[in-house]
Amino acid sequence: MERTPFISAANVSERLAQPPALAISTVIFALRPSESSGRPTLWLPLVRRIREPFEGMWALPGGPLTQSQSLQDAAATNLADTTGLTPNYLEQLYAFGGLHRSPSQRVVSIVYWAMVQPTEAALARESDNVRWFRADGLAELAFDHNQIVDYALWRLRNKMAYGSIAYHLLGETFTLAQVREVYEAVLNRTLDPANFRRQLKQTAHIEATDEYLQGGAHRPPRLYRYTGDPAAENSGAPPSSL
Amino acid sequence: MERTPFISAANVSERLAQPPALAISTVIFALRPSESSGRPTLWLPLVRRIREPFEGMWALPGGPLTQSQSLQDAAATNLADTTGLTPNYLEQLYAFGGLHRSPSQRVVSIVYWAMVQPTEAALARESDNVRWFRADGLAELAFDHNQIVDYALWRLRNKMAYGSIAYHLLGETFTLAQVREVYEAVLNRTLDPANFRRQLKQTAHIEATDEYLQGGAHRPPRLYRYTGDPAAENSGAPPSSL
DNA sequence: CTCAGTTGTAGTCATATTGACCTTAACTAA
DNA sequence: TTAGTTAAGGTCAATATGACTACAACTGAG
């Protein structure tokens, strides 16, 4: 909104005061094999703070909102700057605006969350100031970013049920076992392969290809392709022009 | 976030520029009997704009974010100023930040949605500049507020399935038929009374009281009370301190 | 005082969905 | 050739859902 319905003295004086700073941050999820088990698990890239407050600590990639960028554009820019990747999925998570999130000035952060397929080049981008971490069991982060990541994980797990999100962590074609592994990585529990297959065929929009994934010491699984319409993808978010 | 990971010339110059204006608006839902059918339907209060842009048109109540208020506090203040009511439910809807939402300057609006029980006094507050409208079939509003209301309705309908929200539109005790009427008003379709009752008993957290609602020309219905734990109420939102 | 009208409440039944489990198919490595 | 492994399809009981019927409990008209 652009004005108060009832003009009061407080409103007028506040309008002249400095407004809170406005920043955009992005929680970027990708699937990587765990070092220990080798199974796919959720990872996210963080950047190291190079100035106070919280100098030296890890934080979500982000920056101030510029006049010329829409919110989603700003989030996509964060993502490209940090990982060099373009997102398969990008959606607004929440606007955090507590009074004491940053020790110095009042900052309102509009946070997006994204899902990407990491390329070799993107993973090799790691440096002293950019590093990938497992999404669960993170160390202490700068600001309230631990709580933001936890909330993003919660939202991700809830959205899984609706479908379609899992495919944004996978490539063009995939086996049903790979889809199941995505679900298992996000939901953090094992799923019955047979029942999972049946459920996918009922609800999800996938089609079988004629190809099979060769190379394993077992029966080769069929490859599938996602056929969900892109319109329904961002179901849950208003048009990005707003 | 509070800084960009990679400092570029563009970032430095942008940081010195004027940041976008930050406003809070609130979509306030309440249940009122329809004039035609008499059945409960969804209404919301709007305020008339008294200056350009969109002078004279109806808009969501709201105003600029002050330094001393959290986002949720600002939304609650909107609500109290407009209706004189305190909300039964208040949750962040979305942050709208498109480049051309307001013709003059760039405005980012963080929008909340609320559910209230209107009192007689609150409804009598109507004036030339504050009026209640049916939520569906609204006339053209200022800014992008039609799209915002549509999105709020979409979110409300989706949240209904999870339960607990309906009770925030009702009083302390209620009949099962009243709960059903809330669902019917929000979902805009009729529901089988017997099946609805069964489903509520399975999932919802309600308990029967010993009282019955007298006065109708029919068998008096039993009154129930909501027993859902307040912790799970705002399930779907991060702690309000953030 | 009786009965028609209305709404609350409980139950039935066919169908769909879910979770646990079993069986067979198809491949590799030893 | 065989043991090991994963793919893929099926069965079966338990549970949930939607359409519908039957009965209960009240008011108000006559």
Structure confidence by residue, pLDDT tens digits, A150-205: 999 999 998 887 678 889 999 999 999 999 999 999 998 999 999 999 999 888 88
**pLDDT grade, residue A3 (50/70/90)?**
very low
B51 contacts in A (CB within 8 Å)?
3
- Closest nt to A208 (CA→C1')? D8
- The residues with which A167 forms a beta bridge, in sequence order, are none
| Per-residue pLDDT, A4 | 40
| Per-residue pLDDT, A230 | 59
Our CA-based measurement puts residue B61 at a distance from the nearest CA of chain A, in whole angstroms, of 6
The pLDDT of residue A7 is above 60: no
**pLDDT grade, residue A14 (50/70/90)?**
very low
Largest CA distance in chain B: 76
pTM: 0.89
Instruction: Say how far residue B190 (Cα) sits from the centre of its chain.
Output: 22
| Per-residue pLDDT, B19 | 82
| Per-residue pLDDT, A186 | 93
CA dihedral B68→B73→B74→B79, nearest 10 degrees, is: -150
Q: Which residue has the higher pLDDT, B36 or A32?
A: A32
- What's the pLDDT tens digit per position in B59-109? 999 999 999 999 999 999 999 999 999 999 999 999 999 999 999 899 999
Q: What are phi and psi of A62, to 5 degrees?
A: 175, -175
Q: What are phi and psi of B227, to 5 degrees?
A: -120, 10
| Per-residue pLDDT, B230 | 58
Q: Which residue is nearest to nucleotide D28 (CA to C1')?
A: B217
CB contact under 8 A, A66 and B17: yes
When mean pLDDT is compared across A4-18, A21-35, A125-139, B35-49, the lowest value belongs to: A4-18
DSSP A20: P
β-pair type (A107-115, A21-33): parallel
- In whole angstroms, D30 C1' to B30 CA is 42
| Per-residue pLDDT, B1 | 42
Q: Which nucleotides of D are covered by protein (CB under 7 A)?
A: 4-11, 16-22, 24-28
At which residue do the structure tokens 């979305």 appear?
B94
In this complex, the residue of B11, B95, B130 whose CB is nearest that of residue A95 is B95
Residues A159 and A165 sit within 8 Å (Cβ to Cβ): yes
B100 touches strand D (CB under 7 A): no
CB contact under 8 A, B98 and A63: no
Average confidence (pLDDT) over A63-68: 94
CB contact under 8 A, B99 and A70: yes
C-alpha–C-alpha distance, residues A176 and A180, integer Å: 6
Largest CA distance in chain A: 76
Three-state SS at B127:
coil
A98 contacts in B (CB within 8 Å)?
70-71, 241-242
Q: Kindly identify which residue of chain B lies nearest to residue A101, measuring between CA atoms.
A: B242
Mean pLDDT by 10 residues, chain B (242 residues): 41 56 97 84 96 95 95 96 94 96 94 94 92 94 97 91 84 94 93 94 88 88 85 70 83
